[in-house]
């Protein structure tokens, strides 16, 4: 197998392991057994979650992420449409260029799509990623009364940003909206940490206990996907 493909394969596997918070031993398997280890990881941890075409596309993007960006920029130059701009913004987010992605999304809002809820949510997320919390609050309040905001990741990021700005009471109100059984495990773990920080340890314990209980009924795929956060939940629960 060509060397650059091995590196791309390893890169994808490491990225996937970090994103899904998989067990640490997978990093050693992937790094010290480049080909065999990566193949084992793909077969056991990825193929049962995503189809082969998606995996192949992801590996290509890891190997040459700028190629996709260049192609999308050319599309925008040829036809500056809503979808082309959004696709470019999405691609920039994928490589961690949140500032660049925000620019593309904000251009979209300056057109006839200034009230597009999906784009506003993307901008909100981008500003949170670059820790521009006052901007998160600004954009969240544009859609706070819209259907689909309550209980969403956007509302959760709004709550976290309020907390960063010292608005603890308001923050708690919005953060608690994410506490929905059999979902949002990472967000609920973060909520529990927040509650501990403001002295509501019993509430935090209840949320953590619920997650542990729910983890015992997860499907194999979800168990693999959320293993890392469930382990973190158990560790935190043991300290309370």
pLDDT one-digit tens code per residue, 10-60: 778 888 788 777 777 777 777 777 777 777 777 777 665 445 555 555 555
Q: 222-228 long-range CB contacts below 8 Å, 24 or more apart?
A: 224/20, 224/22, 224/45, 224/48, 224/49, 225/20, 225/49, 226/20, 226/21, 226/185, 226/186, 227/20, 227/21, 227/22, 227/23, 228/20, 228/21, 228/22, 228/23
**Strand residue runs (E) in 139-183:** none
pLDDT band at 234 (very low <50, low <70, confident <90, very high): very high
Tell me the mean pLDDT in the region 87-112: 91
Q: Is the pLDDT of residue 237 over 50?
A: yes
Report d(CA 65, CA 58) in Å as an integer.
9
Report d(CA 11, CA 167) in Å as an integer.
40
Report d(CA 190, CA 174) in Å as an integer.
13
Percentage of residues of the chain with pLDDT beyond 70: 89
Report d(CA 101, CA 85) in Å as an integer.
9
Distance of CA 221 to the CA centre of its chain: 18
- Higher local confidence (pLDDT), 223 or 39: 223
pLDDT of amino acid 26? 77
Decide: 203 and 195 in contact? Cβ < 8 Å.
yes
pLDDT of amino acid 122? 96
- What's the token pair of residue 204? 């935090």
Phi, psi at residue 20, to the nearest 5°?
-95, 0
Distance of CA 34 to the CA centre of its chain: 26
Model confidence pLDDT, tens digit, residues 146-169 = 988 999 999 999 999 999 999 999
pLDDT of amino acid 28? 74
pLDDT band at 65 (very low <50, low <70, confident <90, very high): low
Q: Is the pLDDT of residue 62 over 70?
A: no
pLDDT of amino acid 215? 92
pLDDT of amino acid 50? 45
pLDDT band at 68 (very low <50, low <70, confident <90, very high): confident
Q: Is the pLDDT of residue 5 over 70?
A: no
- Please classify residue 196 by burial: count the beta carbons closer than 10 Å to its beta carbon, then call 0-12 exposed, 13-18 middle and 19+ buried: middle
Average pLDDT of the chain?
A: 86
Radius of gyration of the chain (CA): 20
pLDDT of amino acid 89? 94
Q: Is the pLDDT of residue 123 over 60?
A: yes
Instruction: Look up the pTM and report it.
Output: 0.73
- What's the token pair of residue 36? 């065999």
């Amino acid at each position: 197998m060509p060397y650059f493909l091995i590196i791309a394969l390893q890169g994808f596997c490491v990225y996937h392991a970090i994103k899904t918070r998989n067990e640490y031993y997978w990093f050693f398997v992937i790094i010290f057994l480049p080909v065999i280890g990566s193949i084992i990881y793909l077969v056991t941890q990825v193929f049962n979650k995503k189809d082969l075409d998606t995996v192949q596309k992801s590996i290509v993007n890891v190997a040459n992420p700028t190629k996709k960006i260049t192609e999308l920029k050319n599309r925008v130059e040829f036809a500056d449409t809503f979808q082309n701009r959004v696709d470019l913004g999405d691609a920039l987010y994928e490589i961690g260029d949140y500032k660049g992605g925000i620019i593309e999304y904000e251009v979209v809002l300056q057109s006839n799509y200034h009230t597009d809820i999906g784009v506003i949510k993307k901008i909100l997320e981008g500003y949170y990623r670059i820790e521009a919390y006052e901007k998160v609050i600004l954009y969240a309040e544009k859609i706070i009364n819209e259907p689909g905001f309550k209980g969403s990741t956007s509302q959760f990021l709004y709550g976290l940003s309020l907390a960063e700005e010292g608005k603890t009471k308001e923050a708690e109100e919005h953060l608690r909206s994410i506490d929905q059984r059999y979902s949002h495990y990472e967000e609920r773990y973060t909520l529990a940490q927040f509650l501990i920080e403001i002295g509501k340890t019993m509430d935090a314990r209840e949320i953590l206990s619920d997650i542990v209980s729910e983890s015992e009924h997860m499907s194999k795929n979800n168990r693999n996907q959320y293993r890392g956060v469930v382990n973190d939940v158990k560790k935190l629960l043991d300290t309370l």
